[in-house]
Amino acid sequence: MGTERPVGRLRADTARGEQVTPDHSAPSARNPWTNTPLHRLDARRVSSIDYAVLRASIVSGSTQIRVTPLDPAAIDDIAWSGGRSHLENVASQLQRVDTGEVEYLAVRADGHAVSKGGIDFAKESDAGTIWQVATHPQLEGIGLATLLIHALESRALERGGSRIRLGVELDNGRARRLYEHLGYRVIGESETSWEAETADGSRYLHTTTLAEMLKVV
């Protein structure tokens, strides 16, 4: 089980983020809403964020924390969550929001996107499926993923749903402990794959085994 403890206004979590280095030499995919390259960040904007200071302010409770729908035009705000292939996938998932199949949220601290994830209502006929959860790697362990998951669960409840599913890689014990702490239980395993990137931007098919987890809310 998790070992969360109160920290400021939030609780510690064990969400995992991924630090990535943009590959500026490769052709860039584009945001379909703004026609701007994905994962080409404004260096001035990124360098202006002092994550150590932001973390301290979140822990102290002096930062405004909000959970809002992820704006399709603001995908660069979550560039820390993965490589270009991941951002392309997020962009494609956001196109499903208007159909009602998906809701995609971001936790923002003083306006900065610090955690994000979605819930898919079309994958399973009787459950919402939480996926693509990530927290900025310098802001893990202070309750952001917990806040996000509760918000995603609330979206399911608003639709009259009571069953929430998610999958976690077998070697990601930290995230699994968080989910167990939040009431999820393992109901089986499944094989899955997705397009991933190496440090130099090369793409490959990542295949893994997930522990399938379920919570009845």
Distance (Å, rounded) from C-alpha 141 to C-alpha 16? 9
Chain segment 1-33, per-residue pLDDT in tens: 333 333 333 333 333 333 333 333 334 455 544
> What residues does 128 pair with on adjacent strands?
164
Chain segment 50-94, per-residue pLDDT in tens: 999 999 999 999 999 999 999 999 999 999 999 899 999 999 999
Chain segment 168-205, per-residue pLDDT in tens: 999 999 999 999 999 999 999 999 998 888 888 899 99
Radius of gyration of the chain (CA): 17
The CATH number corresponding to 6-216 among 2.60.40.420, 3.40.630.30, 1.10.760.10, 3.40.710.10 equals 3.40.630.30
Domain boundaries, the chain: 6-216
Chain segment 109-151, per-residue pLDDT in tens: 999 999 999 999 999 989 999 999 999 999 999 999 999 999 9
Show the DSSP H helices in the chain as ranges: 43-47, 51-60, 84-94, 144-158, 173-181
Chain centre to alpha carbon of residue 77: 12
Residue 186: both structure tokens together: 């393992």
DSSP 83-129: -HHHHHHHHHHHTTGGGTSEEEEEEEETTEEEEEEEEEEEEETTEEE
Residue 43: both structure tokens together: 């260096």
pTM metric for this prediction: 0.80
With beta carbons less than 8 A apart as the criterion, state whether 187 and 214 touch: yes
Q: At what angle do helices 144-158 and 173-181 cross, to 10 degrees?
A: 50
Distance (Å, rounded) from C-alpha 111 to C-alpha 57? 13
Q: What is the DSSP letter of 76?
A: G
Q: In the Cβ-directed half-sphere of 141, how many Cα atoms lie within 13 Å?
A: 6
